[in-house]
Amino acid sequence: MEQNIMPLNLIPLGSSARVQGLTSDGNTKRRMLDLGLIVGTKVESLRQSPSGDPIAYEIRGAVIALRSEEASKILVKVIN
């Protein structure tokens, strides 16, 4: 795996990242693509639920809550 590329669920709250790829398939992959999670999309980790799962992310101007299981299949590179 390329340096600095990690699953989306591991980026710290308040951090931004760019999508590098998806490892999911089928309906889950289609849903992620429909949400705009394509290579190069900027994603920001906003808030975490009290239980820790799901986490709210800003994606293309919309706030989307993703479970850790879903976010772990989105590979990102943290940006400053």
Q: Domain boundaries in the chain?
A: 5-79
Per-residue model confidence as pLDDT tens digits over 44-71: 999 999 988 999 999 999 999 999 999 9
Half-sphere exposure of 74 (CA within 13 A, CB side): 34
What is the third-level CATH fold of 5-79? SH3 type barrels. (2.30.30)
Arithmetic mean of pLDDT over the chain: 92
Q: Is it the case that residue 3 has pLDDT exceeding 80?
A: no
Best-predicted range by mean pLDDT (3-7, 47-51, 74-78): 74-78
